[in-house]
Amino acid sequence: MTAVRVIRSEWTKIRSVASTVWTLSLAGVVTVALGMLIAGLTRSQFDSMPARQRLSFDPTFVSFAGMTLGQLALIVFGVLVVSNEYSTGMIRVSLAAVPQRATFLFSKIAVATGLALVVGMATSFAAFLLGQAMLGSHRARLGDPGVLRAVLGGGLYMTLIVVFSMGVAAMLRSPMLSLGILMPFFFLISNVLGNVDATKKIGRFLPDQAGSRIMQVVPRVGDDAPYGPWGGLGIMALWVVAAVAGGYVLLKRRDAQ
């Protein structure tokens, strides 16, 4: 089967499974809605902020406050795209039809990545524009230095979260196991490691901690990270490459189960 036909097949699989469509849509809605809510609360409390907090006030980054929860839906989407076929047993049929493991996996990743990129960019711009509207006089503008980079980076960050999740799911195969590892990792473990003094130097090299730097315009007070916005996204991309490579190696070496 040619790569074009495999890509068409993967596109049909993704859009025909309601759970994958809904989780990707939910990621966009949650990110935008929560960002607007937090932007509105920030506006109402701005005058009472401590002086130190105002120095590092980043109106652009406030718009992406919903990304913390939105990325959980992105993780579910990435995991389901890969592991649904394992949980239903359809993986045997798929690999019988496409015995070339590289073509099978990378066609699946290409389709999901393209879809995630479109949704991610639309979500990022919507979150920024609506979030800034909620901030009122404290808002940033798209033409301000670093803002367009941050907004485009938000879309890239969302896309990389999906691809990373797909790589992990390809390694683990089980949707429950994949989600059981990824959810606590991003929602709990990464935040703890990134905010505790003893582990900060390790935590800032985790994929979400490093990647989220691309969405920041104003550096935080006391931030001594040894990389900038694009460097952070590059670190995240290395995590993604490692996850996808691991998924491919394991898929190539073992039988479909």
Torsion of CA 27, 28, 31, 36, to 10 degrees: -150
Q: Report the distance separating Cα 135 and Cα 54, nearest Å.
A: 14
Q: Report the distance separating Cα 126 and Cα 128, nearest Å.
A: 5
Whether pLDDT at 4 is above 80: yes
End-to-end CA distance of the chain: 22
DSSP 205: T
pLDDT tens for each residue of 145-196: 999 999 999 999 999 999 999 999 999 988 899 999 999 999 888 888 887 8
Q: Report the distance separating Cα 79 and Cα 94, nearest Å.
A: 17
Whether pLDDT at 28 is above 70: yes
Q: What is the amino acid identity at position 252?
A: K
> Cβ contacts of residue 79 below 8 Å, gap of 6+?
165, 166, 168, 169, 175, 178, 179, 182
> Please, what is the angle between helix 101-135 and helix 67-88, to 10°?
160
pLDDT tens for each residue of 32-63: 999 999 999 998 888 777 777 777 789 999 99
pLDDT recorded at residue 18? 76
Confirm whether pTM is higher than 0.85: yes
Q: Report the distance separating Cα 75 and Cα 59, nearest Å.
A: 26
Q: Are 47 and 132 in contact (CB under 8 A)?
A: no
pLDDT tens for each residue of 94-137: 777 877 888 888 999 999 999 999 999 999 999 999 999 999 88
pLDDT tens for each residue of 71-90: 999 999 999 999 888 877 77
Whether pLDDT at 1 is above 70: no
Q: Report the distance separating Cα 190 and Cα 114, nearest Å.
A: 27
Whether pLDDT at 256 is above 60: no
As a whole number, mean pLDDT of residues 2-27 equals 83
pLDDT recorded at residue 52? 73
